[in-house]
Amino acid sequence: MPVIRSSDAVTHEIHGARFVSYATPRSGSKELCAWRGEVPPGTKAPAHTVNKEEILHVLIGNLRVTLDDRTDDLAAGDTLIINAGSTLAVENPTDQTALTWVTTSIGLTADLADGTRIAPPWAN
């Protein structure tokens, strides 16, 4: 049974947010990836379209998310289901860092509006 200690998690940063990666193929996962997201106050990540379903659960704080054409405010305890092919934008309009737990299938990519495709290492 692979156990990933918090000291073994790998941290990545992009668009002002931190992604602390726990479950990936490099850590022994065969199908899923999971990470903790840290979204500082004032962060506004660019909209991106995902190729795999993601589940985002807010652990601490609040986020404003736009999924396709709908905007919602999420609070600690709320969960967002992001279906493959959906376009997501996340922002933290508060003065507190928001923490999330995200799970997806291995092989997630995200397409930005400018045509850039990202294959985040915390999801591959």
Mean of the per-residue pLDDT values of the chain: 96
Residue 18 counted as domain residue: yes
* Helices within 3-123 (DSSP H only): none
H-helix or E-strand spanning residue 70: strand 70-75
Count of structural domains, the chain: 1
Residue 1 counted as domain residue: no
pLDDT in tens, 22-74: 999 999 999 999 999 999 999 999 999 999 999 999 999 999 999 999 999 99
Residue 123 near residue 106 (C-beta atoms within 8 A): yes
CATH code of the domain covering residue 63: 2.60.120.10
Domain limits for position 87: 6-123
pLDDT of residue 1: 57
Helices (H) and strands (E) in the chain, counts: 0, 12
pLDDT of residue 65: 98
Residue 81 counted as domain residue: yes
